[in-house]
A and B are shown apart, each in its own frame.
Chain A
Amino acid sequence: MQTRRDAAILWLFLILPVGYMVAFVGYPVVYNLVMSVQDVTLGNLATWDRPFVGLGNYVELIANERFRLVVRNSVIFVTVNVVLQIAFGLAIALYFENRFPGARYMRGLFLAAWMLPPLVIGALWKWMYAADYGLINYVLESIGLSDGPIYWLSNPDIVLAAVIAANIWFGTPFIMLLLSAGIANIPRELYEAASLDGAGAIQRFRFVTLPMLKATLLAVACLATVYTMRAFDLIWALSQGGPIDASNVLPLYSYQLSFEQFRFGGGSAVATFSFVVVFIVALLYVRTIRHEKAM
């Protein structure tokens, strides 16, 4: 029998998380959605009395050349980051599975990159990318791979690649850590059985590691997508999205619209685009996790 007191406690424990979600997640999301269909300026920001413009902000965005460039950049930035972070992360995780002396310490060192604030990493890479005194140009020139300075961050054709490289360096260790945990969960006997069945190293990877890691890989891909979708500070420190938006991505553009041009409606509309993508990926992630548990 459930007493009244039990019921009260149940309600309390239900209301606490739901209330938290509504206040700190639901409200901002809805507020953003509302702003995206209004014409919000500095003048009316403090009031609720804002002109309703329907999908005006969205229509304007889609017609905007600049926005389309930012979307294109974002797609490239996220796709290349996710693919290469997982590829490198998996390669490094597998490498550290060979338990050579010092493997654990070296793996710890790799994590250092992930422990630094993105702003610091951006500043470091900015120095390394510097055209005249940067480390990267110095190395390339001294081994004869280039005969003049490469303008990594001021050439619109290569700035996105430069920013992507820095973000891969920043994100890979965490991916490696997640994949290492997944690899550690694969029973050793499966590898032993496979090598008795005649599988070499490549076949063991193909027929044991990959299928056993499938769920983990999918979950990690979702996480990596969400993490790179929201990349902001590293790019801010490196290039501020420039030159001429060549390395601009959605969150940065949303910030610039809202807080540099004070076009809050437009900024909110950009944020809504990001939100929809992240939300779909997050749903996929939750599904993957649930599937993994059911296995």
Chain B
Amino acid sequence: MEPDTVFATLLAQIRDVVPELGAHAFARSDSMADLGVNSIERSEVLLLTLDALGLKVSPIAFHGARNIGELSDLIHAKLAA
């Protein structure tokens, strides 16, 4: 799977969980926390993204990403592993 596809899937879940960000122009350097996405919503975004990509890995494996670009890269690396 292409890295861009993973990133697009992640953005789709963010927009699903936080509809207020529907019109936001996301950059890889955006952090969900800085955009006002609360901790429960952040967890949900990650779990939905893993579901959408069919990735059966503990969400804890993706802890530590500082922005959505890094998170997307971590997910992509797991998919490729």
Query: Does B associate with A?
Result: no
B residues at A contact (CB < 8 Å): none
